[in-house]
Chain A
Amino acid sequence: MKAMTPESPVLKVEKITKRYGSKQVVREVSFELNQGEIKVLMGPSGGGKSTLLQCINFLVIPDEGRIWLGGKEILHSQKKDLYEYRQKVGMIFQDFNLFDHLTAFGNVEIALLKVRKMSKNDARERALAELERVGLREHIRKYPAQLSGGQKQRVSIARALAMDPKVMLLDEPTSALDPELITEVLSVIKALGADGMPMILATHQIEFAADLADEIIFMEDGVIVETGPPAVILSQAECARTREFCAKLTGLYGDSR
């Protein structure tokens, strides 16, 4: 990681476009993510945030556009490259998507065994260490159905981190959680940011965004409407639509923390 020159972006995305039928869900979106940088995606639901994040690791294959990780262009048609690339891009989902048939420990361990082909012992140690890091050491034997939402999301973060990702994509990681559980997940994400993990985070948590983001990207109807540092976007955005949206969010969530 350190070998990378500071000016070369960790992740570079160029003119990503995704259509469903005649509807363009994501339209020519480009940006660069630098080492240690955190970008927050904001904007109304249906604005293309999720699709964009899923395009970035090819869970949704974009119709057009190019993607580079650490200077290397990723071609999704090269299966081997694609699988390797996805290991390096951690993804956190709104509804956790833990594997229902595995315990918290099994959820973290399985990819270490099956994808990274680690030995049983190494995988075990790593999985335990990651679960410890998100504060779930005493819950490792529980199945997803026995965990609270916040615990589930922390397991999914541990699962992603165990792969040693170079960058993390977080798709509204706290939107399915009730207010009391949001904090425990946000503090894990915050700690990750403090460790220098580059992240792209879609969220409606406006204070959290203001606190953490180096840059806010405001997206609507599949296009980037505006980008800028949080102080600018949240209080004095150029675009009226951005201002209106942020004002509403502040009204909704602003005082909740």
Chain B
Amino acid sequence: MNELIFIQQDVLPALMKGLQVSVMLIIPSGLCGLALGVFVGALRVYGSPWIIRLTDAYVVIFRGFPLVVQLFIWYFGLPHIGIYLTPFLASVLGFTLCSAAYHSEYVRGAFLSIKRGQRLAAQALGFTKLEMILTIILPQAFRRALPGCGNEVIYLIKYSSLAYMITCIELTGEGKVIASETFKYTEVFFIVGLIYLMLTSVAGFLLRRLENGLRLPGFDHYNL
């Protein structure tokens, strides 16, 4: 009984506060990460040789550095050159840049999978390269990239917990604070875990809805 009262009175309110911060981190990072990822992915396929080299290098670096290290650089490193970010902004920046690097790889694959004929037809009609990419290639490629990008969004939800390493106290951070005050690590982190599970389930559901909403006749696989 004591346990339940403890959870209801101390744990849940703190975790709800943390959850709010987590959601505030995840939504802008997710949206900006996806947008930047699509942009970078397009550049890596259709850019000039120099742009391709540059964006490839970006991806190598941001997929190669551990995310915690990236966060440390944004939060502790940038002040050395006179740029001070709040823990929250440093986290959103770090998540966006890392997430975009992964998204761009899914998007690049999707772009490459679009048949050459689609491009030829657009060019033959007099489309400029930009119009062709935006109105013909991207709508098709985005649909193909979506399952992979959804995967990255789910992953982002969980790595958003790293924000507490640079003192942005979100869900995991709040949990850590309560757990170390009360020594009830198991109970607290079990609940924290459940909340993340809930978040990823909701995200998974929404992503599936989006996928179904964008599904085209001829590309469905219901009966396979």
Contact = CB atoms under 8 A, between A and B. Distances in A.
Contacts, number: 76
Interface in B119-144: 120-128, 131, 135-136, 139-140, 143
Contacts of B126: 83-87, 111, 115, 163
Given A97-B117, A101-B139, A111 B125 contact: yes
A147 to B, nearest CB: 10
A98 B217 CA distance: 14
A245 interface: no
A246 interface: no
A74 to B, nearest CB: 12
Given A145-B218, A145-B219, A91 B140 contact: no
A137 B183 CA distance: 73
Interface residues of A, number: 32
A57 B123 CA distance: 9
Contact of A86 (B118, B124, B217, B219): B124
Contacts of A218: none
B81 interface: no
B4 interface: no
A57 B124 contact: yes
16 contacts: A57-B124, A89-B124, A91-B120, A91-B124, A99-B122, A99-B136, A100-B218, A101-B139, A111-B125, A111-B127, A114-B127, A114-B135, A115-B126, A143-B218, A156-B121, A160-B124
Interface of B: 115, 117-118, 120-128, 131, 135-136, 139-140, 143, 216-219
